Amino acid sequence: MATVHHYAGAGPWQPQPASSVPRGQGLLIFAAVMMGVLALFNGLDGIAAINRSHVFTQNATYVFGDLRAWGWAMLALAIAQAFTVVGILARVPVARWFGVVVLTLNAFAQMAFIPSYPVWSVLILALDVLAIYALIAHGSSSAAETTAQPAPEAAVPPRAGT
């Protein structure tokens, strides 16, 4: 009597093989969420600076421009970050690199914005660095996976007695 081997494919209740889930997707979502949060923060900072709100340090001196000019710069960066979030979530490859450029510009802008709100600017600068890391690390993990690993072979169930 021959034994019959039943092969059950991976259903929705069973864990998927590691090769079927793209690596780095969590980092990409993390980067998009971080950029969304940074866009919100920069938008609020920009609006507050344009209105010359009292949350900023009075008598702050800037290398160039004034508080209102930096407010417009923050608002422009917030809009660019919001568009980049949409591009990243839509999986547009250029959006990741545009995000790196926008976050780098935001980091430099936050360094110039330090005289008016020092602790907040340093915190936003740290979040910029984390988001840049997530965008760049996602690219290196997906590229390394596609070049370093051979294609997985299809699982074939063993045949019953021949």
Q: What secondary structure does DSSP assign to the chain, as a single string?
A: -----------TTSPPPGGGSPTTHHHHHHHHHHHHHHHHHHHHHHHHHHTT-TTSPTT---SSS-HHHHHHHHHHHHHHHHHHHHHHHTT-HHHHHHHHHHHHHHHHHHHHHTTTSHHHHHHHHHHHHHHHHHHHHHHHHHHHHHHHSPPPPPP-PPPP--
**28-73, pLDDT tens digit by residue?**
888 899 999 999 998 988 888 888 777 666 666 666 677 788 889 8
**What pLDDT digit, counting tens, does each position of 106-150 carry?**
999 888 878 777 888 899 999 999 999 988 887 654 444 444 455
Give the pLDDT band (50/70/90) at residue 5: low
Structure tokens given for 125: 């600068």
Instruction: Kindly indicate the confidence band of residue 21, based on its pLDDT and cuts at 50, 70 and 90.
Output: very low
Sign of CA dihedral 64, 69, 71, 74: negative
The angle formed by the CA atoms of residues 30, 136 and 24, to the nearest 5 degrees, is 50
> Which two three-digit tokens encode residue 143?
């590229």
This prediction's pTM: 0.67
CB 59 within 8 A of CB 115: no
